[in-house]
Structure 1
Amino acid sequence: MVRRIPFALAAIITAWPAPAWAVQPHGGPEGLYVHQLGHILFFAAVVKLWLLLRARFRTASRPWRRMRWSAALFALWNVVAFTSHIYEAQVATAIDRGQVPPAWSAPGDASLLSYLIYLSSLDNLILVPAMLFFYLGLRGLLGERP
């Protein structure tokens, strides 16, 4: 009976609907600046990792190649995410000024900015393979003998 209480409690919490709050808005410009700085630092770190892996493991095994691909895709994702935040800030600035953002100028008349925002919103198409390569690389390194 006592063993069923945690299961029942987990079932009740899971079944109770609540907002997910998956998106975190950044308050004021400071939040965006710090977030963008995080993208820059992460970009620098994965580029450094890619360069180290390229120099030390040029003819490396499959796990090290996967780690290199992971670092390259993470770097690309940071560039896309960084530019995406810039595009979103341009739209937010236009809204704050009371202007109609160029992305919503007229129905059926999409501007270049609207296409760039749409393409940069597909950053998960880069991020998911980067995580997959990272996972597969680490899993392969776990099985390797030194």
Structure 2
Amino acid sequence: MRNLNVYITVAGIYLLVSFLMPGPAWALQSHGAPEGICVHQMAHILFAGALAYLYWHTRKSPAIASRGWRYLQYFCGILIAWNLLAFTGHELYELLTPEDFINKDTWSEQLSPPLSGVKIIYYIAKMDHVFMVPALFYLVRSLKTFYREARLEVNK
């Protein structure tokens, strides 16, 4: 029992120190070439495939035909589109050079003229939040609906 108290104390001190002296946590992290981007791209493909299966399964099963499941299907469809857009954006980024950007790796990064088809599609792909926000909206609606349906079942 004494050893357990020592471990808990050490873990508590470690957590306290970790919270008081945090390191940077960047929202966007670069991947080491070429393995990092390959694994990341494979993750997009696998995630889209898993969402496609979930969409297909919820469409196929008559037992799960409530409104919450329909919202979940919307979520899956939109997130599949997001994965395809993100995959395309990552691939197009590999075709661009540092000269294609102004103020690269800053908050005011811009594409440099002249604009090409690759640059325009890359720019559109960078606006993936246009898909992500509605997808998360439908996920929340789905979970809310499931919660309400479960409460109605319990209250019967």
TM range (shorter): 0.7 to 0.9
2:114 matches 1:109: yes
TM-score, normalised relative to structure 1: 0.74
2:69 matches 1:69: no
Structure 2 CA distance for aligned equivalents of residues 25 and 136 of structure 1: 33
Structure 2 CA distance for aligned equivalents of residues 61 and 136 of structure 1: 12
Please give the residue correspondences for 1:7-46 in structure 2 after superposition, counting only pairs within 5 Å: 21-46=26-51
* SS of equivalent residue, structure 2 residue 53: helix
Structure 1, residues 35-56: CA drift from partner, whole Å, max 9, x if none?
Answer: 0011010000000000011111
The residue aligned with 2:84 is: 79
- Percent identity, please: 32
TM-score, normalised relative to structure 2: 0.69
2:94 matches 1:89: yes
Contact (CA 8 Å) 2:58, 2:64: kept in 1 or not? Answer: no
Number of residue pairs matched? 126
Contact (CA 8 Å) 2:58, 2:69: kept in 1 or not? Answer: yes
Structure 1 CA distance for aligned equivalents of residues 84 and 57 of structure 2: 20
The residue aligned with 1:130 is: 135
Structure 1, residues 97-117: CA drift from partner, whole Å, max 9, x if none?
Answer: xxx54x78x965211111111
Contact (CA 8 Å) 2:52, 2:80: kept in 1 or not? Answer: yes
How many Å apart are 1:60 and its aligned residue? 2.5
How many Å apart are 1:62 and its aligned residue? 1.7
The residue aligned with 1:55 is: 60
Contact (CA 8 Å) 1:57, 1:64: kept in 2 or not? Answer: no
Structure 1, residues 89-130: CA drift from partner, whole Å, max 9, x if none?
Answer: 111xx44xxxx54x78x9652111111111001101101111
How many Å apart are 1:143 and its aligned residue? 1.6
Given residue 35 of structure 2, which amino acid in structure 1 is its aligned partner?
E
Structure 1 CA distance for aligned equivalents of residues 113 and 37 of structure 2: 31
